[in-house]
Structure 1
C-alpha cells in the first residue's frame, strides 16, 4: 500500500510520465508541458485552482487524487451513460423537411451505434430542432419531442422510425432551422432488461435477427470505414452537411486530395 507523502509514492510519481496517467491524453501532455508540468509528481504539486482554470474540473480531480485526496468515485469510471445524444449545427439554415429528415436519420444512426458499443438499450427517443436565436429577422422556433419506443432496443431501424415520427410532429414549414439532434433516453443494460406489461413483445427469433443485422452493420463499418453500410443515402451538398471550407487536404486518406506534382 502506498501512502500519500511517502518517499515511495514520491519516487513513483516522479518517474511516471504524464501520458501514463489515466485521463491525460497527448494534447493535455503538450499543454501541461508549456506550464512546466512533465510528470505525475509535478501535476500532483500544481495549484488545483490553476489546473481547473486552465483545463477542467476533471483534471483538477485527477491532480487531487495523485496527492491522495479522494475525488473520483470508483463507480464513476464504469457507469454507463444515462443518455446518448448526437447533435450538429447545419452548414446552412434550411426549412427543407427532406434535408432535415436526412440529418436526423444520420444523427439517429450515430446514437444507435454508440448505444450498441456500450451494450445498452434505449426506451425512448428525443428529437429537437433549433433556429438561430441571434437572428432577429427569423421566426424563433425550438421544438422537441420525446417518443417512447415499443420496447427497449438498440436496433437502428426502430430508433430511426421513432425519430422520423417525432420530426414530422415538431417540424413547422417556414422556419429556417440551424441545428438538430437525436437523444436516446432511459438507457438500460442489454443483459439486464426486464420487459414491463406495456412493452410490445418480441419473439426470440426476431430479437436474434435484429441483433445479427446490427452486428453485421457495425462490423462492416468498423472494418471498411464509417458509413460503409447505412440506412438511407444522404443528398450530396444538402444544407445540413458541415461546412469544411478551412479543412486541410486529406492527402493520406483521399485519392482526389493527393498533392499534385508538375514538371516545369
Structure 2
C-alpha cells in the first residue's frame, strides 16, 4: 500500500502580502495590518518584524513610526484578503489531487503517490512558482507523511532560507533531526498550558514528545495528545477533510467605531449583522430556526462614567428560514426587550443556530406553507448582485450612513472585487 504523504502550503505574511501586491512602490517597506477599528497589529511583513513590531501591539504605541514614515499601516481589507485567498486555493486545487482549506492562508494537500511521478521537493517548488506567477503571493511548502509533521516541515521552510521555501520531511532521519531542534510548543495542537505540563514531565523538545509512549500520554492527557505522538512518528491519524464540516452556528459581531447611545443606530447595526449572517447561512446551503441577539458596553471603561451593561436574548422561528427579512424582523423585536437607555454601547451581534438542510424540515400541520420559492429567488438575486462587485442592495433597516460602523481610516482599495477600485494605468 502506498504510504500517505501530505503537504502544508502556507502564504507568507498573508495580509501584509495582499496589501503589497498592488503597490510595487512599497515592495520593500515595513507594513502592518490593523484589527477592527484600527486597534492593534494583526499582521506584519518581514520588514516590520525586523523593526521589532510585535503581534497584537496597540496602534497608538507604534504611531510615531507610522508618522515618521518608517512603518506603513493598513486597516483590515477583508474583501481583498478573502478574494486572493480563494484564488490561491483554486490554484492549489488545479495542482494537487486533493486539497483541504485549513484557514484563509493555509491548505493541506494530499500528495500520496505523487512521488511516483515527480520528486517531492521539485513539486513543492512548482507550487511556489505557480502561485507566485499566477497570483503574486509567496508561499512556503512543508511535505511529510502526516499532517502534524507537515506543519513542522512548513515551519522549517519559513525559518531557514537555505530551504528555499520547501522542506521535504519524508525521511525519518530528517524528521528526528528537525524535532530535536524545535521546542515542544511548536507542535500543532500543543498550546501554552499543555506545554507547561509537558515541560514538568521533562518533555522539552518535539523529539522528546515523539519518543514518549502513546499509551502513557493518553493516560496523562487525552487521546488527542496520544494521536499527536503517533503522528510525530509518521503514523497518519488525521485524514484530509476535502469537504468542510457544516457549521453549527454563525455569529456576526463587531465593535463599534463610536459608542452607540441611540436605539435607531443599534437597530441599524443589528440589521447589518443579521444580513451578513444570513448571507453566510445561504452560502452553507442551510436554513436556521434560532436567533440570538446580544449587546454590551465596554468592560474596560470607567464604571462611574460608563456603567457596565450586558444582555442577550434568543428565540426561534416557527419554520426555519434563510431569508434575511425574517431574521431582521425578529431581531428588531428581540432588541426592544434588552435595550436600555442611558448606556454607551461598545459592541453588539447576532447568532444563528439550530440549522437544517434546505427542504428537509418537517413543518407544522397548522401553520401556513411559507413562500419558500419566492423567498429563495429574491435572496439569490440579492446575493448575486452583492457579490458581483458592480453594486450593492440592502434593506432600509440597515441604514445608509452607518456612523456606528467600525473605523477603517487606512483602508486600501478592494482591487479585485470592486469595479471602482480597479487599478488605473497612468
| TM-score, structure 2 normalization | 0.49
Distance change >3 Å, CA 254–CA 27, structure 1 → 2: same
Q: Secondary structure at the match of 2:347?
A: strand
Aligned residues: 242
Q: Deviations over 1:135-184 (max 9, x none)?
A: 13321111101011121000010011111111111110011110111110
Q: Secondary structure at the match of 1:247?
A: coil
Cα offset, 1:72, TM superposition = 4.7
**Aligned-CA RMSD value:** 3.9
- Aligned mate of 2:399, from 223, 226, 234: 234
Please say if residues 389 and 419 of structure 2, whose CA atoms lie closer than 8 Å, have aligned partners that are also in contact. no
| TM-score, structure 1 normalization | 0.75
Cα offset, 1:231, TM superposition = 0.8
Gaps of 5+ in 1: none
* 1:132 and 2:256 matched: no
Distance change >3 Å, CA 243–CA 257, structure 1 → 2: farther
Distance 2:299 2:170 in 1: 41
Cα offset, 1:54, TM superposition = 10
Distance change >3 Å, CA 81–CA 53, structure 1 → 2: closer
Please say if residues 265 and 402 of structure 2, whose CA atoms lie closer than 8 Å, have aligned partners that are also in contact. no
Cα offset, 1:15, TM superposition = 4.2
* 1:29 and 2:165 matched: no
Distance 1:14 1:256 in 2: 38
Cα offset, 1:244, TM superposition = 1.4
* Map 1:1-264 → 2, pairs under 5 A: 1-4=1-4, 11=115, 13-17=120-124, 29=140, 32=155, 33-36=157-160, 38-39=165-166, 41-42=168-169, 45=175, 47=179, 49-52=185-188, 64=231, 67-72=234-239, 77-137=243-303, 138-196=306-364, 200-203=367-370, 206-225=371-390, 228-232=392-396, 234-236=399-401, 238=403, 240-248=404-412, 250=413, 252=415
Q: Secondary structure at the match of 2:387?
A: helix
Q: Deviations over 1:58-104 (max 9, x none)?
A: xx98xx49944213585x94421000111100001111111111111
Distance 1:19 1:178 in 2: 48
Cα offset, 1:193, TM superposition = 2.1
Q: Deviations over 1:37-67 (max 9, x none)?
A: 73363499464741438999xxx98xx4994
Cα offset, 1:17, TM superposition = 2.4
Please say if residues 268 and 402 of structure 2, whose CA atoms lie closer than 8 Å, have aligned partners that are also in contact. no
Please say if residues 121 and 153 of structure 1, whose CA atoms lie closer than 8 Å, have aligned partners that are also in contact. yes
Please say if residues 295 and 347 of structure 2, whose CA atoms lie closer than 8 Å, have aligned partners that are also in contact. yes
Cα offset, 1:246, TM superposition = 3.2
Gaps of 5+ in 2: 6-111, 129-136, 142-153, 193-226
Q: Give the structure, 1 or 2, with the largest relative contact order (CA under 8 Å, sep 6 or more).
A: 1
Distance 1:177 1:235 in 2: 20
